[in-house]
Amino acid sequence: MKKEFVRAVPVLERLEQRGHLAYFVGGSVRDSIMGKEIHDVDIATSATPQEVKELFDRTIDVGIQHGTVLVFHEGEPYEVTTFRTESQYKDFRRPEQVEFVTSLLEDLKRRDFTMNAMAMDKDGILYDPFKGREDIESKIIRTVGSPDERFSEDALRMVRAVRFMSQLGFEVESSTYQALGEKAHLLSHIAQERKTAEFQKLLAGKKPKEALKVAASTQILQYYPELDALMREIKRFLSLDLEECQTFEEWLSVIALASAKKESMYREWKLPVAVIKKIKALIEGYERRNREFYSRYQLYEIGLEDAHRIERVWSVYSGQPAQYARIDDLYAQMPIQRETPLSFSGNDLIKWSGKKGGPWIKETTKDIIQRMLDGEIVNEREFVKQWLIQGNKQ
Ligand code: ATP
Ligand code: MG
């Protein structure tokens, strides 16, 4: 058993001592079988949330209406969720209220895919009623029970299927694949934030292109706003070196460039403001780069790291080779760089010029930096002072 599970065994033991059932479930069991690193160790139990809270010293209510209590053991947080079913689905979404049950099997039945519907007890024994292990070995994503029904209950599962494709490098089993195409339209009922969150995980996975291809051919992509232009040219889009993208923002810049409706896309995808800001900067950088190579002043302003990001977006979307070495050379040759401390301050400029503060400070600073980059002014306090005084006399 992996050390993360071993550390959590006392939590299971505690629950069992009081006569409850308790198991490790979900992604951590799947990932450990795959020999992958595991992150969150989730626990399912027959104990009610109230009973769980009484058994542990430190707990936080994180989703009591879904039966989830966060339990701390030796400083580590564990989500402990009461066995439940989700019988009454409404509007193709998971219900607000759940029904607690006493059987592990019932709980595993409501889970999305066979690989996610396994449980492991404190001795490392696997409970695998839907043959998730076999599917993992054959690298197959298959719903627990009828895919039509399971996707109709909760349409988000369809996006989860393609995100797991990308993350795990698995294929979607054929009847599950067919149901994706038939039920994709139900995604119109799902909150965009949740669809965007799954999409982000898809893009960060190891096979994003394969997953996007399936998302396009099953029409899942249709339920991401403003991608009409991209969908029309999906062949060209998928022929780009998309895997070069290293961050969500880089990916979304390339997608936005291909979507041709950037502004409304940012809004409708419900992206956080900070993310939108970064994407806009990347696209602006891309557009400038498409006209000409970076100037020294531009490189000074954006810094080496962001220049590489822009270059990557430019190279991926334009299909031309990235010129990182040329950027690095130019940067290395610059007399001052973004990181270089300036030898003077705005206050110095006021003192030396005898003028009052105002917008001219910013402009003059910019002018001095530009001249430093051109090699006309040296980044030394006395040099700047003399230059300013002489300039003012003229
Ligand atoms: P990750 O490694 O990304 O966290 P995960 O499998 O743990 O993957 P979570 O979203 O954390 O995914 O969900 C935990 C478990 O809850 C899943 O393994 C699955 O059993 C169940 N689950 C999550 N979302 C759904 C859903 N929409 N429908 C049914 N079961 C779900
Ligand atoms: Mg998880």
285: pLDDT confidence band, cut at 50, 70 and 90?
Answer: very high
Is the CB–ligand 1 distance for residue 205 below 6 Å? no
Chain-wide mean pLDDT for the chain? 94
Asked if 282 and 253 touch (Cβ cutoff 8 Å), the reply is yes
CA distances to 114, 366, 383 from 393, rounded to whole Å, are 80, 20, 16
Give the pLDDT confidence of 165-185 residue by residue, as tens digits: 999 999 999 999 999 999 999
> Mapping DSSP to helix (H, G, I), strand (E, B) and coil, where does residue 217 land?
helix
Is the CB–ligand 1 distance for residue 27 below 6 Å? yes
Is the CB–ligand 1 distance for residue 198 below 6 Å? no
Mutation probe of ligand 1 site: the residue of 116, 146, 154 with most atoms within 8 A of C-beta: 116
Minimal-distance CA residue to ligand 1 atom 4: 27
The fraction of the chain above a pLDDT of 70, given in percent, is 97
* For residues 213-223, average pLDDT: 96
Is the CB–ligand 1 distance for residue 154 below 6 Å? yes
Is the CB–ligand 1 distance for residue 112 below 6 Å? yes
| Per-residue pLDDT at 293 exceeds 80 | yes
Give the pLDDT confidence of 66-114 residue by residue, as tens digits: 899 999 999 999 999 999 987 666 777 776 667 777 799 999 999 999 9
Is the CB–ligand 1 distance for residue 153 below 6 Å? no
Please identify, by atom number, the ligand 1 atom nearest to the C-alpha of residue 26. Answer: 18
| Per-residue pLDDT at 393 exceeds 60 | no
Is the CB–ligand 1 distance for residue 128 below 6 Å? no
What is the whole-number distance in angstroms between the Cα of residue 89 and the centre of ligand 1? 17
Q: State which residues have CB under 5 angstroms from ligand 2, the bound ion.
A: 27, 40
Nearest ligand, CA 166: 1
| Per-residue pLDDT at 268 exceeds 90 | yes
Please identify, by atom number, the ligand 1 atom nearest to the C-alpha of residue 117. Answer: 20
| Helix ranges (DSSP H) in the chain | 3-17, 27-33, 49-55, 104-109, 132-137, 147-153, 156-168, 174-183, 192-204, 208-217, 228-232, 234-239, 248-259, 262-268, 273-291, 296-318, 324-333, 346-353, 360-373, 381-393
User: What pLDDT score does 375 carry?
Assistant: 94
